[in-house]
Structure 1
């Protein structure tokens, strides 16, 4: 049994199911994901630095609780740090893996910081699990290029420049919503490359359809919700602001605002 967050990527749940695992959702409240891990769970998948898609970092008390659970039970924590480089209004959040390397698998990727087409990712695993990890084939050229990018300092410079560009986009999104859609509340924007737009009740599906008519690819929050989550889903839109090219950003914002109630 794998415990997962109440909202997340369905591809993760599908991968777990194909591996013969049952997924159970963890509750979510105003403070974020709750970490009362079910008694029958063997592992838990979390995005503690920036929960996807709701946003927010895992609170210190809950970080300590999940580490305590892993130590008591021998359970495994899968830490998905998919966009930890991009933070705007807060300091970097330390990795859970640093708190207990023997019980945490740290997962990272270059998809957000560089390009998904590179298909480069990494795992930092407890030593006992190294023999069980079977790496996928990745081009040596891409690996060596990334290594040089890191050791030369060019990666850090690239991330700092990208962080500034995305922060400007985020600020423009927030301002456009305040000016043209004041009834829409935006959350989850302290880090990452997406925002959650809280919509009036009962409007999610109509807004997604209106956005499609405007040529936008956005998703309702409902599609990220674990089917076994018991709470009533809120109406919201998940909007990524990293994809449109710079020359199209202003037009994309206009199209989004036209689709909103």
Structure 2
């Protein structure tokens, strides 16, 4: 009886421990999903916050009204995509992978990030490169990398983008003259989720998401950096088969002011 009781207690304790572990893993999954949601929603909040801030001053400006409608449409679309992804996280929607003119998208992103120094610029004469991707996700990934380069670089520094084609791939180089990173940080923390150099204001997700999505497209992101010199992110994506390229719809609605200078809504 003692042996049976002892064995029964062991089995019950093991079952209880397994249940606790299962619940802990579920809570961890929910916590990580929430962190990714918050990271994406920060962009939408920034857009709508700037819209509300400028509305009292420009409510009678027809151009502002047009931009306000575009901004709201973009925010609704982004939140709808996020909700759909949460409801069906395991489904890969390959139908969203359409031919996109990467060169025109990069030019659009550079124009979007001109609101702050250092101003990114495209070097040389870029080739006409077409890839297959989801326009919104690709724009978010590349925009994050450009913004990170600006964050790491002083206003009098440089952020230079270059497009090259080699062996069936297009490579986008994003080079900055910022603070740089150590080899230890690149190999151990840069692409690790929930590790951030921005303290409590950063979630350490952007670089991880960027590499995960580029790898999903069949490409990769490589990084070279030196502390005090700067960093270079190389984004390699396979070229699409020849065919009509689609220019993605503008994904960064802007809120106009009365001087004609457009303020960033993202």
TM over 0.5: no
Q: Which has the higher contact order (CA 8 A, sep 6+)?
A: 2
What is the TM-score when the length of structure 1 is the normalising length?
0.24
Larger Cα Rg: Structure 1 or Structure 2? 2
- Structure having the higher helix fraction is 2
